Amino acid sequence: MKFGGMIKNSFVDYPGEIATVVFTCGCNFDCWYCHNRSLIKQNQKKIEIIEENEVLDFLNKIRKMIDAVVISGGEPTLQKELKSFLIKIKKMNFKTKLDTNGSNPNILKELLDEKLLDYVAMDIKTSFEKYSNLVQKKVKTEDLQQSIKILMDSNIDYEFRTTFSPDVTLDDIRLIVQTIKGAKAYALQKYNQPDSNCPAPHNLVVFDHALEIAKQYIDNSFLRSFD
């Protein structure tokens, strides 16, 4: 398995744990605000590829200093070697977290059934009817709904999260949280303008209103990445 980037020590990517974060290349979505754009297309020449052995050697050296490994992307479930990589990580006694866009429910279920994941963060980009527009790809929303159900039926820790970009409205937030009513956790994440030509973020009053709506359906709703 190859990676397009790595954060050696992170205190914010796995709740309550110190983690190393690795980023896989390639994504089946193309969200217009994506900040990992260089990772979206696999084999981009600009990316410095990190081989799996390098990651495993590094983890072996610092295994007493970190608790967990986060596999982010890109979209990690596109990688054929994801399962075998997770098996190696679990053998090293690390906790594992997967960041996913939820488009591969079968793989998600297989990894959960084999107890290879301790935490999953799944993006819910917007309300289902607006999805394909935001992610600039045709999306099978039934797959997303299936992934949501798999996580909500599971025994592991998980969160759903929405980047509150300017094209996501309060009505969208209401539709999202109605879909995941009673979920363990829901994060409303700050949108960062990719560049100054992109639309400005919602103001904080709108964020507070969105959080109020979310809390009506999910007790553990919170804002993320606000100073």
Q: Which is nearer to ligand SF4, 35 or 115 (CB)?
A: 35
Instruction: Give 69's strand partners.
Output: 20, 96
Q: Which is nearer to ligand SF4, 66 or 139 (CB)?
A: 139
Q: Which is nearer to ligand SF4, 30 or 171 (CB)?
A: 30
Q: Quickly tell me which residue has 């700050």 as its tokens.
A: 190
Q: Please report, as ranges, the residues that interact with ligand SF4 according to CB under 6 A.
A: 27, 29-31, 34, 36, 40, 73-75, 101
Neighbours of 54 (CB within 10 A): 13
Answer whether 128's CB lies under 8 Å from 103's CB. no
As measured in angstroms, the least distance from the Cβ of 215 to ligand SF4 is 25
**Burial status of residue 74 (CB atoms within 10 A of its CB: 0-12, 13-18, 19 or more):** buried
For residue 106, how many C-alpha atoms fall within 13 Å in the half-sphere facing its CB?
A: 2
As measured in angstroms, the least distance from the Cβ of 195 to ligand SF4 is 15
As measured in angstroms, the least distance from the Cβ of 110 to ligand SF4 is 20
Q: Which is nearer to ligand SF4, 32 or 58 (CB)?
A: 32
Return d(Cα 75, Cα 93) in angstroms, integer. 24
